[in-house]
Homo-oligomer: A and B are copies of this chain.
C-alpha cells in the first residue's frame, strides 16, 4: 500500500508521502513516491503516486521524456500553460501506460492500476490540486474538500476531517499531517517512514521547503507517543456513560 496526502491551505499546498512499497509482506522496499517539475518563476509542480510501482515509475519517466536523449528533452509538463492541461497530460500518460501492459495477455488491468496526486501553480494561474484516476480522468480540490488522500486513506482521515482549518500555518499543517501519517503507520504495515514532504507557498512559483522525516526523527517520535497519551486523556475527559 501507500499513503499520500495533498492538502490545500490558504497559504499554499502541502504534500506528504510515505516511501514503502511491497509485493507481499515479505518483500518490502523503500521508493520515492514524490516527484517535482519546477521552472523557477514559471511553475512548480509536485506529483505523488500510489499503486503499481512499474506503472508509476513509467509515468514519471515518460513525463520527464526519458525516452529522448538528454539534449532533446523539452517535456510538455514544463511547457503546458495551465494546471488543467498538465492534469490532462498526466491522466493521459497514466491511462496509456496501464493500457499498454493490461493488453499484454492480462484479462484484468487492476494489477497495473495507479493513482496520482498533482498539485502546484503555473504563471498567473491559481494554485491547484488534482486527484487523477487510473482511467485518466480527475477531480480538483475545493474549499469543501481541500485535501486528497490516496492509498491507505481510512485510519488517518478522522483527524484530518476534524482538525483541518484553511487558515492553518505551515507548521500546524505539518503537525496535522504527521499525526495522520502516524495513525496510518501504526495500523498498516505497508505504510512506513521515512516520509517525504514539500510545502509549496502560493505565488512563489518555486520549490518550497522539502525534506524527509526519517524513522529516528525526534519530533515524529514525540508526536507518535504524545498522540496516544493525548487520545487517552481526551477519551477520559468525555462525559461518563451511566446505565439508567
Query: Which A residues contact B (CB, under 8 angstroms)?
Result: 154-155, 157-159, 161-163, 170-172, 174-176, 178-179, 183, 186-187, 209, 219, 222-223, 226-228, 230-235, 237-243
Contacts and interface: CB of A to CB of B under 8 A. Distances in A.
5 contacts: A154-B154, A154-B187, A158-B158, A172-B240, A233-B234
A124 B160 CA distance: 48
Given A154-B154, A157-B187, A234-B231, A226 B239 contact: yes
A31 B239 CA distance: 29
- As for how many copies of this chain the complex holds, the number is 2
A232 B162 contact: yes
Q: Which of A162, A179, A230, A241 has the most CB of B within 10 A?
A: A241
CB-CB nearest 4 A-B residue pairs: A230-B234, A154-B154, A234-B234, A175-B241
A45 B234 CA distance: 34
Contacts of A243: 170-171, 209
Contacts of A170: 243
A233 B163 CA distance: 9
Given A171-B242, A222-B239, A232 B163 contact: yes
A181 to B, nearest CB: 12
